[in-house]
Structure 1
Amino acid sequence: MRELFLTDHEAYIRWIDLPGDGPVRVFVHGLGCTAASDFAHIAAHPALGGGRALLVDLLGHGLSDRPADFDYRMESQAGAVAAVLDHLGLTGVDLVGHSMGGAVTIHLAAARPDLVARLVVAEPNLYAGGGAFSSPVAAQDEDTFVASGFARMLALARRADYAARLRLADPRAVHRSATALVEGSVPAPGDLLATLPLPRTFLLGELSRPDPDAEKAAGFGVPVIEVPGAGHNLMLDNAEGFATALARALSATPSPTPGHDGD
């Protein structure tokens, strides 16, 4: 594990650095998750042919610190990940984000295009409104969620593996992150994705269809690759299929980025 002290937030952001040759791949997890639990097995998968991998825990999640005054918005998390890449002197990385992490990586690619060569997002939050997880969290008062809602969510978690990951997250960070997803940002990640001047791919679980965001991404000219037999947790539901789809996305010949024609 490696760490960087972010002076602006007086907090450490931490990541696992897996050595390798070739392209550097940076993996960013979703809400209430950790990078190692979601992506270690993917980063080491033979389909990806090796390469250095950074498994980054966002602030408030996993092994990273939990600054009380951090807003936990996607743009702010993107800035923290960018600080890691600047600290390591990395540019032109392959950036992979799932769910909330997809929104974070889109903001990062838009704000710092010098850092990113390719972007792959797996069922990202493209527009305001949240999802099945974030919406019920954001509907609660922050202090109430911290005091009792978080524990209740852990107790009622449908997936034991998700509860195990969620236990490592800070309740206040989860609430503020969920609220940010519901409120959305300006510009929205979807609008940014539409015009990013770099190769972009959208990964979709077969069981998540129909998916309006995937349809919008396809309308922007973003290739959509389906992972068979998978729902929203693509890399856990079908690791083999996800790794194969990711390898395909990272090896595809770039196509021209179309202009955004509105929503």
Structure 2
Amino acid sequence: MDEFVIDERGNVLRYFDLHSGREAFEPLVYIHGLGCASSSDYPPVVSAHSYAKRRSLLADLMGSGFSDKPRDGHYHSQAQAAVLSDFVESHGCSRVNLFGHSAGAFVALKLAQMLPIQMRTLILCEPGLTEYGIAMLSEIASQTEEQFVDGGFAHLLAQLKTQGGNDAWLGPFSVASPYAIHQWAQSAIEDNSSHWLDDLARLNAIKGVVLSGAATRDEIAKFEQAGCTVELVANTEHMIAYDNPDGLARAISNLLNLGE
């Protein structure tokens, strides 16, 4: 993996730089959801036959995946976006495209608003929190950071294993920093209750949203009203990258082709 040093203490964000020989100065930066990791979620997507093979930067956010996990790190969405802004600028790109999944959509939207370079396309995948996500993150946020680190995190992992159906999520979740999970859970709840759809509507860029094929007409309409082109991926639920990576690759490629 490649490394990007984020501070004077040498803390490192790690990422894959794939298809770097193509569209080198207009990459697509992948931002994963809470408890996930781009290094585990998106290799099957960017290697799919239907993928546009654009230069793809699969970043593990600080506190997640293979990136460093300092105990005193700042892991709320605004801090993560600030690190990614420096990361993108360090590549000397002329323009950039962003992809954000679930709670990572909030990070992507904040990043889009602070980027020092032009953004071409913003793609949000299953953006925002589901009812299940709100309930789970509210339970995390109801604990103090100390309580969650000392026992709440281990209890949550055991609960997710018992529930079943979380295999795709449990791998990266189990190696995430409990400090990062707690802080990001708090900020994701705040982001979800904010006027983020208004911010999305005001954003001057090509905008796309990828949803499960089971999305309702009302869910689709709210994103269309924000100026987004909506792509549906069949046979999927919230974790689209795992349920149908080829379908997600096709949806991303379609959205990247808008305006060309």
Q: Is the pair's TM-score, using the shorter chain for normalization, greater than 0.5?
A: yes
1:96 aligns with 2:123: no
Contact kept? 1:85, 1:91, Cα under 8 Å: no
Displacement of 1:168 in angstroms is: 1.7
1:148-163 paired onto structure 2 within 5 Å: 148-157=151-160, 158=164, 159-163=166-170
- Aligned equivalents of 1:212, 1:145: Cα separation in 2: 36
Corresponding position of 2:197: 190
SS across alignment from 2:134: coil
Corresponding position of 1:54: 57
Contact kept? 1:126, 1:190, Cα under 8 Å: no
Displacement of 1:214 in angstroms is: 4.6
**Could you give the per-residue CA deviations for residues 15-47 of structure 1, whole angstroms, max 9, x where no partner exists?**
111133124221111001110111111112222
Q: Name the aligned partner's letter for residue 39 of structure 1.
A: Y
1:142 aligns with 2:150: no
Q: Cα 1:77–1:9, aligned 2, differ >3 Å: closer, same or farther?
A: farther
SS across alignment from 1:119: strand
SS across alignment from 2:57: strand
Displacement of 1:126 in angstroms is: 7.8
Corresponding position of 1:11: 11
- Aligned equivalents of 1:162, 1:17: Cα separation in 2: 23
- Aligned equivalents of 2:191, 2:120: Cα separation in 1: 25
1:203 aligns with 2:216: no
Q: Name the aligned partner's letter for residue 89 of structure 2.
A: D
Contact kept? 2:63, 2:177, Cα under 8 Å: yes
Displacement of 1:212 in angstroms is: 6.5
Corresponding position of 1:257: none
Corresponding position of 1:2: 2
Q: TM-score, normalised by structure 1?
A: 0.87
1:176 aligns with 2:183: yes
1:26-175 paired onto structure 2 within 5 Å: 26-112=29-115, 114-125=117-128, 131-157=134-160, 158=164, 159-175=166-182
Contact kept? 2:129, 2:192, Cα under 8 Å: no
**Could you give the per-residue CA deviations for residues 153-200 of structure 1, whole angstroms, max 9, x where no partner exists?**
212223122111111200111011001111228974322211111000
Q: Cα 1:133–1:218, aligned 2, differ >3 Å: closer, same or farther?
A: farther
Of 238, 242, 259, which aligns to 1:236?
Answer: 242
Same amino acid, percent of matched pairs? 31
Displacement of 1:201 in angstroms is: 0.5
- Aligned equivalents of 2:180, 2:219: Cα separation in 1: 25
SS across alignment from 1:46: coil
Displacement of 1:92 in angstroms is: 1.1
How many equivalent pairs are there? Answer: 252
* Structure 1 segments unaligned to the other structure (5+ residues): 255-263
Q: Name the aligned partner's letter for residue 112 of structure 1.
A: L
Displacement of 1:90 in angstroms is: 1.8
Q: CA RMSD in A?
A: 2.5
- Aligned equivalents of 2:80, 2:102: Cα separation in 1: 14
Q: TM-score, normalised by structure 2?
A: 0.88
